[in-house]
Structure formats: C-alpha cells, structure tokens
Structure 1
C-alpha cells in the first residue's frame, strides 16, 4: 500500500501544490508543471511506461514525457507544481475512489510516484468523433495521492445509481471510473446556431463522483482571442 504524501495547497484563485518528500520518496508530473524545488530533489524524465505510452500521450496532445522528482538528499525535501492558468487544485486520494480517476487530458498536474498515468480513449464512438475536449481522458490508477487542476471554481457532484446530469463537455474535469458518460447531439436548428454551447453535450450517469470546472480553458482562450485587436493593415 502506497504512503500518503504530505502536501500543502497554496493560494486561493491561482493555486499551486507544494509536496513534502522524505528521502527516497518521489512524485510524477507533467513536463513543465514544476514551479520550484529544494536542494536534494533530482529530476528524471521518461515516457511514463515505455515508448507506447509516450506515443499515446503525444497523440492525445500531451507531452511525450513524464517527469519524476525524487528526493535523494537528507531530511525533508520540497517540490511545487502550478497550473498554467487560473483555477483550483483538486487533491484526490485514489484509495478513496476505487483506485481509478479519469480526468481531462489537460487537467492532470502531478501524482505520487506509484500512480500509473495512462491515456483513456472514450468507449463510445460518438464521443470520439464529436466530443472535442471530452474525447481523450487520462486514467490515473493506484492507491496514493493525485492532483488535478480545474479552471475557475470546482463543483463536486456525487451521483446516485441511475442519476443523470448533462454538462458542457469542457466543464468536466474528472470523474470516478464507475461513472458512465456519452456525448450527445443537441437537436434543434436554433440551438445549433444561437445556443452558444456547441452542438454536443456530455451526459453523465451514476453511480460515482464527478468534478466540474466553471472556467474551461477553451472557453477562456476563446474570449481572449475574441478580445484581441484585429490587424486592420493586413492584406
């Protein structure tokens, strides 16, 4: 059974997580997520499970590599990770959620060294073809701590067996493996033209737990792009 690592989530609206490591203890993170680390922490970059795992990650739009941070010094070591846009950090002990969590491909921040990080493709063809952000998820498996980043505010929903909810595809941050999900077409000509939420919506069915974010990164990026001045001198 994996040890639960010590950590502190720092900040309010633009959070980071600082992890305390004992000698020999380690943590894994997406390449580029590290903010700072103390003396005695060493970095080791690899594919996170062989070349095939690396290629799967690359095809999903993630980095080919996973970086491991191991404390090889004496006493306590510290390393911190921050997300690239404003939001919250969700701390998840996988042991409390059946050992597996699925999260958006850009939501994973870091995890204890014993956590397996893999790409989870949708079981449903419709989600794969049309789901956009909801198509490719990351599967985190193990019995230790994992940390997921959410944009804006976090909303947790505990779904009972058979209970359903419909969400904007980009709003889904993470869910337990027991939750069934599909991406459905939003019918209606006016919905397609004027709804502002796209043509597809994700349906989640319990039992299980889901975590939602109030500010998906794609929505933030679209607003920023729309506000940028246009080059009037461009031919």
Structure 2
C-alpha cells in the first residue's frame, strides 16, 4: 500500500457528509472548504499540492500544485493526521445537496477521471492531477471544460455530485450519450467525446444545449441528475430582475447566498 488505508461511514441522504476513521499516524487529504468537524488529537495542516509525493523537489511540487490551478482549484490542500494513540474521526461535508461516492481506486485500475470540482477527500497518497482531453472538440464544447481531474493511487477517495447518482456499466463498444454537465466520473478506459445535437430546431430550441457527451465502453460511468450549474441557473431565472414580489426576490437571494457560501 502506497496510500494510507482509511475506514469511513457516510451519513445522511440528500445532504450527506462522510466520517473518516483514522488509525494512529494515518492521514486524509481534503479539498479546502470541505471540513466539517474533527475529534481531539487530529492535527490539521495546509500543504502545497496534494501531498502524494509524486513530484520530487521544489519544481516537482510547483508543477503538481500548478496543475490544480488549471482545474480552478486552490494551490493548497489540507491534511488531517491522527497524532494520538487510538482511533480518531474527522468529517467532511458536500458543498451542495447531492451524494458522496466512495471509490476504492484499487478496484478501478488505480485511476478515476472526474469533473474538476467533484473531488472531496482522499487517503493521503492519492494523487490529484489533471486529465487533458486530446480531441479539440471536447475542449471547446465539453461544457465542463477541456480539463478534468484524475485521481490516481491505490487508496480510498470520495467525490460528490448533485441530485441522484447512477452508475452505468458499459460493455465493449457500447455507447451512452450524457448531458455534459451530468457527467460526474468514469474509469480511465472509457472513451469520451463531444457530439453535436442533430437537427437545427432541436439544437436551437430544444432547451438541452447543442452538445452532449458520448461515452464508449468498456468501463464504468457515474451520472448525476442535478448538476450545480443547472440548479444555479434556475435560481437566477426565478429571481425577478424588475418588479415582482419583494418576498420572492428575498427568497431567491437567500437561496443564492446559501449556495454561494456568503
């Protein structure tokens, strides 16, 4: 084992959080802002990059941390280490309603590709990097961007997504078309491309966008029913720009403030 081996328990239904159990000297690394609570004798430390040790020297650490900037994430992450003599617990919460998906990377060939903002936490030693899509069409029209995250290692990691999550198993050659925002994660052997919606009327007036993701097996794909971008757009659309009920406007503003973290 190169990664720390951690135990966990997920609480809740639609507003979930994950409680990680750490043995003495075990550590978990988490995205900034995901921390919820921890017991005593757990040491919290901000680190440069993901702490996986995949980069050697100052330049290696700078490169690994710089890759996170390309995904829109912070240069720094936070590690939580049990410095005591008995088992301790630390918890992390999703930033918006949805599900937390536990993944043992050993079961997926040591690598998972996911949305750039899907990562929540992982056993220390898991490498959080970027996955470049080689086709320009994916980059320009992918909706979620040219760059996706890749999680590599042999430990446990946790990703989160909105609404209900479904896992689809694709056979060799079997394809699945998904709204670009609804794609959460996939195994590394799944081929990913962007396809234009056929028909001018469907593309312009269908309300579903002009592109969708085409995934081809073999491999596993995780799909979410409510991307945060879709939820946010509905909230903005419901907020009256002129006139309207003051109470409705205040409610919409309150919902926006709740999800924006202000």
Please indicate the TM-score interval, normalised by the length of the shorter structure. Answer: over 0.9
Preserved CA contact (<8 Å) 1:38 1:79: yes
Structure with greater helix percent: 2
Structure 2 equivalent of residue 35 of structure 1: 36
CA deviation map 1:136-185 (0-9, x unaligned): 21110111101110111010001111110100011111110010110111
Preserved CA contact (<8 Å) 1:134 1:169: no
Preserved CA contact (<8 Å) 1:93 1:143: yes
Structure 1 residue 231, shift from structure 2 partner: 4.2
Structure 2 equivalent of residue 217 of structure 1: 228
Query: Once structures 1 and 2 are overlaid, which stretch shifts more, 197-206 or 2-11?
Result: 2-11
Please tell me whether residue 93 in structure 1 is matched to residue 112 in structure 2: no
Give the one of 191, 201, 217 matched to 1:190: 201
Structure 1 residue 86, shift from structure 2 partner: 0.2
Structure 2 equivalent of residue 7 of structure 1: 8
Partner Cα distance (1:231, 1:68) in 2: 46
Structure 1 equivalent of residue 143 of structure 2: 132
Preserved CA contact (<8 Å) 1:44 1:69: yes
RMSD between aligned alpha carbons?
A: 1.5
Q: Normalising by structure 2, report the TM-score.
A: 0.85
Number of equivalenced pairs: 233
Structure with greater strand percent: 1
Please tell me whether residue 62 in structure 1 is matched to residue 64 in structure 2: no
CA deviation map 1:184-221 (0-9, x unaligned): 11132212221111111000000100110000111111
CA deviation map 1:20-60 (0-9, x unaligned): 00111001111111111111111222222512222221222
Partner Cα distance (1:137, 1:71) in 2: 31
Give the one of 49, 74, 95 matched to 1:47: 49
- Secondary structure of the residue aligned to 1:211 is strand
Q: Which runs of 4+ in 1 moved over 6 A?
A: none
- Secondary structure of the residue aligned to 1:132 is coil
Q: Normalising by structure 1, report the TM-score.
A: 0.95
In structure 2, stretches of 5+ residues that fail to align are 56-60, 244-262
Structure showing greater Rg: 2
Partner Cα distance (2:160, 2:81) in 1: 22
Query: Once structures 1 and 2 are overlaid, which stretch shifts more, 79-88 or 180-189?
Result: 180-189
Alpha-carbon distance change, 28 to 93 in structure 1, aligned in 2, over 3 angstroms: same
Partner Cα distance (1:187, 1:42) in 2: 54
Structure 1 residue 134, shift from structure 2 partner: 5.0
Preserved CA contact (<8 Å) 1:134 1:170: no
- Secondary structure of the residue aligned to 2:144 is helix
Structure 1 equivalent of residue 247 of structure 2: none
Please tell me whether residue 155 in structure 1 is matched to residue 157 in structure 2: no
In structure 1, stretches of 5+ residues that fail to align are none
